[in-house]
Amino acid sequence: MIIITAKAHPVLIETFEKKGFEVLYAPSITYEELLNKVEQATGLVVTTRIKIDKAIIDKAPKLQWIGRLGSGLELIDLKYAEEKNIRCISTPEGNRNAVAEHSLGLLLNLMNNICRSQAAVKQHLWLREENRGTELSGKTVGIVGFGNTGQAFAKLLLAFDVTILAYDKYKFGFGAGPVKEANFEQVCKYSDVISFHVPLTEETRYMADTAFFGSLKQKPYILNTSRGKVLKLADLVTALELGQVSGAALDVLENEIINDLNADEERIFHILNNRPDVILTPHIAGYSTEAFYLMSKVLLDKLDV
């Protein structure tokens, strides 16, 4: 049996069933429900909703593989899965272009005051001087994390005649043309834009914090379409108030259950939501119509189904 624990394109279910697999499509299944149903599973399909920990794995003696729709395997106990000979597969190829396009859209929106000026027009305010934009062309863009989404974002940026400073702790020798291999300090010092494209690990957790914002020299625009806890929101608020950054566009937050924020999270969310130099979107960067299909297709290809 294959259990699909999140919304997935019909091609995934249909293909598994055509190959003779029993499929339990349960996009709203809870952790506790999965714990009670996983015993017969030979495959699990997950996103970022449910943690696949030792308890789940121990309840699944037949489990052969765990497939992640999208990028990032931080919710899977990879070490324990490996000990149990369970194959873990991610599909960043499926939504990397969607994330890149969304990142570019956020950046152009932010730099050209599109949301801000639209809100003014809705109030019958025709504010041209107040909404004068800044061109992306000729700027320096720092990309933190040069994997699938970082590279896809860089590809789109090339049309704007920018210099790209790319930092990746685990990649070397990838610089070519306008893409310059850089260290983190150089990204912070020279970039007019800094975009995060890293998985959430102990190394990347809150890498955008007070120290990071204090090291910035060019008052850059900040983008985060990776994981919410890469960037500390309270520190971003301070950076905005101090003028250390020109604005921020975030597709991910530390706590994305916005109806269940604690008092401090609610205060920070309110501040960010009411700043004209901040754009927030609800974790949709990798969720385009095309990506919804491609993530399933890539998983099927990698499983050779």
Give me the active site residues, please.
227, 256, 283
Q: Are 23 and 13 in contact, with CB atoms under 8 Å apart?
A: yes
Which string of DSSP letters, residue by residue, matches 12-44? Answer: HHHHHHHTT--EEE-TT--HHHHHHHGGG-SEE
Question: Burial, 225: exposed, middle or buried (Cβ in 10 Å; 0-12, 13-18, 19+)?
Answer: buried
Beta-sheet strands, E only, within 92-227: 140-144, 163-167, 179-181, 193-196, 221-224
The CA distance from 69 to 66, in Å, is 10
The pairing of strands 247-250 and 43-46 is unpaired
Residues with Cβ < 8 Å from 283, sequence gap 6 or more?
A: 251, 252, 253, 256
Number of H helices, E strands in the chain: 12, 12
Residues with Cβ < 8 Å from 235, sequence gap 6 or more?
A: 208, 209, 210, 212, 213
Q: Which of 24, 18, 30, 19 is nearest to 1 (CA)?
A: 24
Bridge partner list, 44: 3, 66
Going edge to edge, which strands form the sheet with 43-46?
A: 23-25, 2-4, 43-46, 65-68, 87-90
